[in-house]
């Protein structure tokens, strides 16, 4: 079940809202939200919902033991056991076949293990389980006495499948004491409607355009402009798709009284790679910063140790997205860029005009998404070479400037790619600032905003009922 599906919009969500708000008791509301959250996950994973429950319950028990234990050594051993328990399921499903096949290839064996079915959202809920136990260990938050409250934190459906990754300390208080004021409900539904429109009207359209480009052809016969067009379209599809899900998750969280942190902050306006990663998938960056980079020493132990810590973080970041060498290469790509930016080219970059830094950042990010896309290294190389005007199809020679797929996209969609790029900018923020300052302006802004979001919601439903292309592409990570 996905947020942009008819089952969710016309059955699951209305029934949940009706039952949730029919009583004010927090116990009733938690029970209803927990039942529907487990149903939401079981809809796609009827078996492995029990895996999530088992891992959560084991961490709940270990967190209680950590709380009661005073001996530092035993506390560390219990924490280590919790980490092993949390990561073992993720490792088995996501990485065991990958590592087996890697070692098999190294030793010349032709046998290959088939990739296991990956339970939906396992990477996200595993990280949240870890934040629960680690936050208890660090005494940032108290453990839940009721195991159902711990299970609600992990399984709460708005952020369960694709984030944002919610750290336990940030919502521990709201599990037992929260309320939904009318303004919270309104703002939450508005945020949900905005995310739905972004998903249906922008991300899905980007996906349809992308299916016509050279990415769909696995890198064969790629032209220079075709290679860049498909890279930019994939960059926008990833952003609109994932940020739309985050918008809907944050909006639904607010409807039910939770205040999740932002996950995206217009990353494509960044003027550096460092700034890009402060704006893109902020909950993942925050997790690795708080639970890996800083515990390793961060930047407090000299330049060499800082670079080593960055290498560890970016290797893990790459592999977190998938058990494939292209993701490891993608992590290495950003590690190198960040090291160059912070330690080698910093003074030179400061002298470059802001607009040029912005353009260079976008080009590097788009290049990174090509690495991210291809699990076939031959197709990846073909595409990357085409982006610098070289073709390796039938021998090394100059790549053509355009191809038939690119012409088809331009004829069919004309200026739509440019419109998509415009919506990557902070348009809503600029409009919001324009309608502030006086009560009259704010009232006009509220009315126009309500009318616009209502129209977008209606158009989204119309397009949804007529579309066959409606995946959430980030689920596979």
| Residue 117 annotated in active site | no
Contact 268, 280 (CB under 8 A): no
Q: State how far the alpha carbon of 345 is from the alpha carbons of 270, 337, 342, in Å.
A: 17, 10, 7
DSSP per position, 368-379: HHHHHH-S-HHH
3-class secondary structure for 229-252? HHHHHHHHHHHHHHHHHHHHHHHH
- Give the CA count within 13 Å in the CB-facing half-sphere of 241: 23
The answer to whether the bond into 164 is cis (omega within 30° of 0) is: yes
Find residue 390's DSSP bridge partners: 398
Contact 129, 53 (CB under 8 A): no
Contact 151, 54 (CB under 8 A): no
Question: Of the residues 149, 321, 358, 397, which is catalytic?
Answer: 321
Residues 6+ apart with CB under 8 A from 68: none
Q: Is the dihedral of CA 350, 232, 227, 337 positive or negative?
A: positive
Alpha-helical runs (H) found in 256-290: 273-279, 282-288
Task: Give the CA distances from residue 110 to residues 103, 149, 376, in Å, rounded to whole numbers and listed in that order.
Answer: 11, 48, 18
Rounded to whole angstroms, the Cα distance separating 211 from 217 reads 9
The torsion angle over the Cα atoms of residues 283, 288, 293 and 295, rounded to 10 degrees, is 100
For the annotated catalytic residues, the residue numbers are 321
């Amino acid at each position: 079940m996905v947020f942009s599906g008819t089952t969710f919009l016309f059955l699951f969500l209305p029934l949940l809202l009706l039952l949730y708000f029919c009583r004010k008791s927090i116990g009733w509301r938690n029970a209803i939200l927990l039942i529907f959250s487990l149903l939401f996950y079981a809809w796609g994973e009827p078996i492995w919902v029990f895996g999530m429950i088992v891992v959560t319950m084991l961490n709940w028990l270990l967190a209680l033991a950590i709380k009661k234990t005073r001996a530092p050594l035993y506390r560390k051993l219990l924490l280590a056991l919790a980490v092993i328990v949390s990561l073992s399921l993720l490792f088995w499903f996501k990485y065991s076949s990958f590592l087996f096949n890697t070692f098999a290839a190294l030793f010349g064996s032709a046998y290959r293990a088939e990739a296991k079915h990956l339970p939906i959202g396992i990477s996200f809920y595993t990280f949240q389980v870890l934040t629960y136990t680690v936050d208890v260990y660090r005494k940032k938050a108290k453990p839940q006495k009721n195991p159902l409250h711990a299970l609600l934190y992990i399984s709460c459906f708005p952020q369960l499948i694709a984030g944002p990754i919610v750290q336990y300390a940030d919502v521990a208080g709201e599990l037992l004491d929260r309320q939904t004021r009318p303004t919270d409900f309104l703002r939450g539904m508005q945020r949900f409607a905005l995310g739905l429109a972004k998903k249906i009207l922008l991300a899905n359209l980007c996906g349809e355009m992308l299916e016509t480009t050279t990415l769909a052809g696995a890198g064969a016969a790629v032209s220079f402009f075709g290679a860049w067009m498909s890279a930019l379209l994939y960059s926008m599809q990833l952003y609109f798709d994932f940020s739309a899900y985050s918008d809907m998750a944050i909006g639904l969280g607010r409807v039910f009284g939770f205040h999740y942190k932002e996950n995206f902050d217009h990353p494509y306006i960044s003027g550096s790679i460092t700034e890009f990663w402060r704006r893109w998938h902020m909950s993942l960056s925050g997790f690795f910063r708080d639970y890996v980079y800083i515990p390793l020493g961060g930047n407090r132990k000299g330049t060499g140790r800082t670079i080593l810590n960055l290498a560890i973080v970016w290797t893990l970041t790459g592999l977190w997205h998938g058990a494939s060498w292209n993701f490891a290469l993608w992590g290495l790509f950003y590690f190198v860029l960040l090291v160059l930016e912070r330690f080698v080219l910093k003074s030179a970059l400061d002298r470059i005009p802001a607009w040029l830094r912005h353009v260079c950042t976008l080009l590097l990010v788009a290049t990174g998404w090509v690495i991210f896309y291809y699990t076939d290294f031959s197709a990846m190389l073909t595409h990357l070479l085409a982006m610098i005007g070289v073709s390796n199809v039938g021998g090394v020679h100059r790549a053509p400037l355009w191809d038939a797929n690119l012409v088809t996209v331009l004829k069919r969609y004309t200026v739509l790619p440019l419109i998509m790029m415009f919506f990557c900018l902070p348009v809503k923020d600029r409009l919001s600032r324009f309608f502030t300052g006086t009560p009259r302006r704010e009232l006009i802004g509220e009315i126009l905003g309500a009318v616009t979001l209502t129209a977008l919601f209606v158009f989204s439903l119309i397009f949804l009922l007529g579309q066959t292309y409606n995946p959430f592409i980030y689920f596979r990570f």
